[in-house]
Structure 1
């Protein structure tokens, strides 16, 4: 674990989310945060505020029936941003989506203010969530 507070913040987010504890993960986000999720699928768009962001995360768990796994490969940070390199595996309807993702967070006052998700293959992500 790094001593940088933004690395520690991201580690807490992924530990909670990875355990399916979306509510705890949400406590690390600002009330008016924005999560940008790419593509053209039911999860795509800008999720504004904790309520929308946690609804997005809960929907991921629901659509995968809990078959959602993220392995954190690396987390890095500066005073205003943090990034995570992940290996993900999602399963639903007999389909598997397995690939690297990169997430970038803008951190303000020790909480996530803005969050961007970058999958390795946005077309495969769309195909998976649209199935």
Structure 2
């Protein structure tokens, strides 16, 4: 049985993101894509527009000096333009002397074969906020 196109799209996105290939990630998004990131940290909020979302991802790589990865555990789809990606996130912030290892999920809305909305859920918002910190 072939993988659903929405699941394949999400897998391509995770693969490109893990490699730090923001150009490839951007090609999978609509121009008005929004990423909703929980909490009160410097990467939290409703980041609107593909370029702004990609800038936020670049900031994550910058803050962790590339010491960040995501293990995709599963992708579930509803066949109506939604996909949920369960994952485990690992990162280190040498400047803060701390690391993070946390379960999470991303809920994708897919329109016309492109990602138009990403809702992020994390296991512990307070720990995530502490790890990412406030804007300096």
TM over 0.5: yes
2:61 aligned residue = 61
CA–CA separation in structure 1 for the residues paired with 2:2 and 2:30: 22
Structure 1 spans left out of the alignment, 5+ residues: none
Please report how far the alpha carbon of residue 77 of structure 1 lies from its aligned counterpart in structure 2 after TM superposition: 1.0
Please report how far the alpha carbon of residue 55 of structure 1 lies from its aligned counterpart in structure 2 after TM superposition: 0.2
Task: Specify which of 98, 103, 107 is matched with residue 100 of structure 1.
Answer: 103
Query: What SS does the aligned partner of 1:13 have?
Result: helix
Please report how far the alpha carbon of residue 2 of structure 1 lies from its aligned counterpart in structure 2 after TM superposition: 5.1
List structure 1 segments (4+ residues) > 6 angstroms apart after TM superposition.
Answer: none
Give me the TM-score of the superposition, normalised by structure 2: 0.92
2:89 aligned residue = 88
Q: C-alpha root-mean-square deviation of aligned residues, in Å?
A: 1.3
Give me the TM-score of the superposition, normalised by structure 1: 0.96
* Residue 80 of structure 2 corresponds to residue 77 of structure 1: no
* Residue 131 of structure 2 corresponds to residue 117 of structure 1: no
CA–CA separation in structure 1 for the residues paired with 2:133 and 2:47: 18
Structure 2 spans left out of the alignment, 5+ residues: none
How many residues matched? Answer: 131
